[in-house]
Amino acid sequence: MKAGERGATLLEDFILREKITHFDHERIPERIVHARGAGAHGYFQVYEPMKRYTKANFLQNPYEKTPVFVRFSTVAGSRGSTDLARDVRGFAVKFYTKEGVYDLVGNNMPVFFIQDAIKFPDLVHAVKPEPDNEIPQAASAHDTFWDFISLMPESMHMIMWVMSDRAIPRSFRMMEGFGVHTFRFINEKNVSVFVKFHWKPLLGVHSVVWDEAQIISGKDPDFHRRDLWENIESGNFPEWELGVQIVEEKDEFNFDFDLLDPTKIIPEEIVPVRRIGKLTLNRNPSNFFAETEQIAFHPGHIVPGIDFTNDPLLQGRLFSYTDTQLSRLGSPNFHEIPINRSVAPVHNNQRDGHMRQTINTDKTSYDPNTIGGGCPFQAKAAEGGFTSYTERIDAKKSVHEA
């Protein structure tokens, strides 16, 4: 809209202003880690009821398909880096259960570099491109990383994984996944056991060697993305079995390592992995940004029957992920974006905030109240509500050197 044939452009051209404003704000901050990813929709089915160990509803009915969205990713590189970098891969699964969203946010390697979340910023700063020249991209073998690792003896286990062929998968479809941390299962009798999660690809675990990775990166940096997309489009649906290692509370200290240490594994010959269900990916996203880019995972998204342990790295993640989504997605209402939205109804006293999407029609947003009949109120465990496991704690506050 112009004043005459040659302008100037009129301020009242709201279509122009809206279009340019949208374009100016199209990019959101990329993830600090796991920036480059690919995702797909699918479903999960448990093989048999797991009520002996957990009351989680999605782990009970073998005939029920729980919808999921899975995001695979590299860790160190930016969104524009190659799929074939030598790197850890993220393997994050969002279950849309009848009891709410459950996120199993893991990696393709069963251990981690550090034991305490306070060192996570240091790890990432060291492994990212060096600050003076922004080199190298999506690579872990460089001076600042080796410097950091040389001073962190607990990282040796993870380094052996990263420098092995496991760090260059042949395909996302041929990659294992691990929850890394030790979690808890809790059953209806409030009996807890420790659990570690495993994803076992039905195609087996396959990798490429370094020279192959270099050639593929030069020819097709989207190799893993393309492989996942094309196989799903052709009906060759990727599948994994969910495995668990279960340790009873009485056996917590029966190992020669700390069960809660994320730099350690429980050897499968000591505690076998029991395969309890299958994950199938059968639908590609319709829009990469709206789904794969906006999906927000968080280890704190849990359902009744699953709970945390005192692993310090896990405890730090329970803060970090929410804080990150506030920065990336710009709102405390990020959970209302369609790809993040729970299929189970959500009732609480949260209102307003940037980009609020739920339209609440009740008159009360506080507790206790009488005007709203006391609603919404905290659901008790007997009514299907979530309650934290009443773990016994008997310790003195201590500060550990970082």
Show pLDDT as tens, one digit a residue, over the chain (402 residues): 889 888 888 889 888 888 888 888 889 999 999 999 999 999 999 999 999 999 999 999 999 999 999 999 999 999 999 999 999 999 999 999 999 999 999 999 999 999 999 999 999 999 999 999 999 999 988 999 999 999 999 999 999 999 999 999 999 999 999 999 999 999 999 999 999 999 999 999 999 999 999 999 999 999 999 999 999 999 999 999 999 999 999 999 999 999 999 999 999 999 999 999 999 999 999 999 999 999 999 999 999 999 999 999 999 999 999 899 989 999 999 999 999 999 999 888 889 999 899 999 888 988 899 998 888 888 888 888 888 998 888 878 777 765
Active-site entry in 107, 108, 284, 340: 107
Q: How many independent structural domains does the chain possess?
A: 1
Q: Confirm whether 107 is a catalytic residue.
A: yes
Residue 78 is which amino acid? S
Q: Which two tokens stand for residue 332?
A: 């405390």
**Which CATH number goes with the domain that contains 229?**
2.40.180.10
Helix 120-127 and helix 143-150: axis angle, to 10°? 150
Which residues are within 8 A (CB) of 127 and not within 5 positions of it... i.e. 6 or more apart?
A: 75, 76, 140, 144, 145, 148
Kind of pairing, strands 274-283 and 66-74? unpaired
- CB-based burial of residue 83 (10 Å sphere; 0-12 exposed, 13-18 middle, 19+ buried)? buried
Give residue for tokens 């479809």.
Answer: 173
Q: Does residue 65 lie in a domain region?
A: yes
Active-site entry in 34, 198, 298, 301: 34
Which residues are within 8 A (CB) of 81 and not within 5 positions of it... i.e. 6 or more apart?
A: 35, 36, 74, 137, 138, 221
How much is the pLDDT for 298? Answer: 95
Q: Does residue 60 lie in a domain region?
A: yes
Domain that holds residue 328: 14-348
Are 101 and 342 a contacting pair, CB within 8 Å?
yes
Q: Does residue 149 lie in a domain region?
A: yes
Q: Does residue 357 lie in a domain region?
A: no
Residue 343 is which amino acid? V
Q: Does residue 106 lie in a domain region?
A: yes
Q: Does residue 366 lie in a domain region?
A: no
Q: Does residue 363 lie in a domain region?
A: no
Helix 312-329 and helix 120-127: axis angle, to 10°? 60
Q: Does residue 70 lie in a domain region?
A: yes
How far is residue 344's CA from residue 66's CA, in Å, rounded to a whole number? Answer: 12
Which residues are within 8 A (CB) of 46 and not within 5 positions of it... i.e. 6 or more apart?
A: 58, 59, 60, 61, 62, 64, 242, 276, 277
Q: Which two tokens stand for residue 324?
A: 């990150």
Q: Confirm whether 347 is a catalytic residue.
A: no
